[in-house]
Amino acid sequence: MKVLIVSGIWPPDVGGPATHAPEVARGLTDRGHEVDVITTATRAPADEPYRIRWVRRSLPPGARHAAVAALVARCSRAADVVYAVSMVGRSSFAARAPLVVKVSGDPAYERSLRRGLYDGDLTSFQGARLRPRAELLRRWRTLTARRARLLLCPSEFLRHIVVGWGIPEERVGLLPNPAPTVPALPPRDDLRAALGVDGAVLGFAGRFTRAKALDVLSAALAQLDDVTLLAVGDGEERAALRGPHVRLLGSQPRERVLEVLAAADAAVLSSAWENFPHVLVEALAVGTPVIATRVGGVPEIVTDGENGLLVPPNDPDALAGAVRRFFDDPELRARLRAAAAPSVRRFDEQIVLDTLEQALARTARPYSSSP
């Protein structure tokens, strides 16, 4: 196949599309497919065995959007299928080949939240009575989604929401985020020593946003005097994560995130809502069990009592109780830790790539041929 991948960000940028798109480009190239990439960047991306076309991010927004759309229109004429990881609106109208979209969330909801147009959660947003600007965002989201031949969601939770946009079920598939390829890490005791921690340690990694309910995590930690939290990330809710035993490590590269998660006794996630939190897959992949809220796609990753513990959202007492239970029961800790890494083998990168490759082949132009 000739596959055109569209992603708004690219390494050295940090974020889901900047991780997923290069992994897919490399994986499909290794399998003999012809891959082209369109992205935006502040400088020329590093050379790869596939072609990368890029638009300067310093251009005014209107000019940048027009340049991306023109590139997608021109390059997609020679492609068998277009895979849009982001910049979906531009791709949906510009693509001249069948379009497959990776849906990582609801862009209308996320923009409404950022602009102060809505203050509820993702599920309630779907049927809520909205302000005119938010309603326009929701209609635009649905219009662009309906133009795609196939939409791929990382969780059944999000898949159910996308079908609710009026998309036929057969056009909405499942593509989980892959587990990371774990590098050879130093021994856990060495990682803890390098971080200057011992005793009971929890790890958190992610954007400090309202969805993460960091105030709930802080309230739970206030009940746990002997537990240290290592927190990787940053964001507008930074002030909500506080306490004498909270260590804020700032934004870190992915390799460092894996080291912090591997050093922790458990990863913790206090979110009020979630889609498919990849940090939980990363934690489990390095052998660290999870204590998290039972929201969104979390139960599709974590099975209570098998590879982690699940609690209701917005309940600091329940979260603190689960942490106490975890640290007070050595047999439970050992059992959850032993099950952690095996539980995410189903998200192996090659298995996920198999699923995507098959979906692209089914969607590609009828004359597309596999190598």
Average pLDDT along the chain: 94
Quick check: is 369 in a domain? no
Burial (0-12, 13-18, 19+ Cβ within 10 Å), 319: buried
Average pLDDT over residues 299-323: 98
**What tokens were used for 316?**
């600091």
Give the separation between CA 176 and CA 347, rounded to whole angstroms. Answer: 7
pLDDT for residue 187 is more than 50: yes
317 pLDDT above the threshold of 90 = yes
**371 occurs within a structural domain:** no
Is 183 inside a domain boundary? no
Quickly state the pLDDT bin for 125 (edges 50, 70, 90): very high
Q: With bands split at pLDDT 50, 70 and 90, how would you rate the model's confidence at 370?
A: very low
| H or E segment and range at residue 10 | none
- Looking at residues 162-175, what average pLDDT do you find? 96
User: 37 by DSSP, 3-state: which?
Assistant: strand
- The DSSP secondary structure of 45-91, one letter per residue, reads PPP-SSEEEEEETTS-HHHHHHHHHHHHHHHHTT-SEEEESS-HHHH
Query: What pLDDT does 368 receive?
Result: 47
CATH of the domain at 53: 3.40.50.2000
Report, as an integer, the average pLDDT of 289-311: 97
**One domain for residues 359 and 292:** no
The pLDDT score that the predictor gives to residue 6 is 97
Looking at the structure, tell me whether residues 11 and 46 fall in a common domain: yes
Does one domain contain both 220 and 333?
Answer: yes
- The pLDDT, as a whole number, for residue 275 is 87
Instruction: Answer with the residue of higher pLDDT: 14 or 339.
Output: 339
pLDDT of res. 371? 41
Structure tokens at 335: 């059992």
Same domain for 147 and 194? no
Residue 348 has pLDDT above 70, yes or no: yes
SS3 288: coil
Q: Is the pLDDT of residue 43 over 90?
A: yes
Domain-embedded: residue 368: no
Integer angstrom CA distances of residue 244 from 13, 146, 223, 240, 248: 32, 49, 12, 13, 11
Give per-residue pLDDT as tens, 46-85. 999 999 999 999 999 999 999 999 999 999 999 999 999 9
Give the C-alpha separation, 251 to 238, whole Å: 12
What is the mean pLDDT of the segment spanning 187-207?
Answer: 95
Number of domains in the chain: 2
Give DSSP secondary structure letters for 325-344: HHHH-HHHHHHHHHHHHHHT
Residues 17 and 156 both lie in one domain = yes
Residue 153 lies in domain: 2-178+349-363
Tens digits of residue pLDDT in 210-269? 889 999 999 999 999 899 999 999 888 999 998 899 999 998 888 899 999 999 999 999
Q: Could you give the dihedral angle defined by the CA atoms of residues 107, 108, 112 and 114, in that order, rounded to the nearest 10 degrees?
A: 10
Claim to verify: residue 354 and residue 342 sit in the same structural domain? no
Report the chain's C-alpha Rg in angstroms.
Answer: 21
63 lies in the same domain as 74: yes
Rounded Cα distance between 270 and 288, Å, is 16
* Same domain (yes/no): 99, 194: no
Q: Does 231 lie in the same domain as 149?
A: no
Asked if residue 313 is part of any domain, the answer here is yes
Looking at residue 338, its pLDDT comes to 98
Phi and psi torsions of 251, nearest 5°: -70, 140
Q: What is the pTM of this model?
A: 0.86
Would 370 be classed as within a structural domain? Answer: no
The alpha carbon of residue 192 and the mean position of all alpha carbons in its chain are separated, in whole angstroms, by 26
- Give which of 282, 159, 294 is closest to 213, Cα–Cα: 294
**Is 19 in the same domain as 81?**
yes
Contact predicate 142/166, CB 8 Å: yes
Mark whether 270 and 201 lie in a shared domain: yes
Report the pLDDT averaged over residues 338-349. 96
Range 130-135 average pLDDT: 96
- 222 and 139 housed in the same domain: no
